[in-house]
Each structure stands twice: as structure tokens, then as C-alpha cells.
Amino acid sequence: MSDPEDRLQYALAELGTHGRVSVQALAEHFHVSRET
């Protein structure tokens, strides 16, 4: 669907939107993305 870099860009955009995101939540998001 999308490249890992696209996911990273999306995550960074999310960070910019929310201002602050828990590092653990971000890590969990990437762990889930990698498994699927």
C-alpha cells in the first residue's frame, strides 16, 4: 500500500498535528504496521 518512508512521513505529520505524542504509542504504531 505505502512505503515505510511514507508511513514515517505520515507519523511525522501526526506529530505535527498533535504537537506531542507518546513515544511508546508511536513505537506501538510502528510495531503494528510492521506485523501487517
Terminal Cα distance for the chain, rounded: 11
Strand, coil or helix: 9: helix
Quick one: pLDDT at residue 5? 87
Residue with cell 514515517: 8
The segments of the chain whose pLDDT lies below 70 read 1-2, 16-22, 34-36
Q: What is the pTM of this model?
A: 0.35
Quick one: pLDDT at residue 31? 78
| Domain boundaries, given as residue ranges, for the chain | 4-35
Quick one: pLDDT at residue 14? 76
Helix segments in the chain, DSSP class H: 4-18, 23-35
Residue with cell 515505510: 4
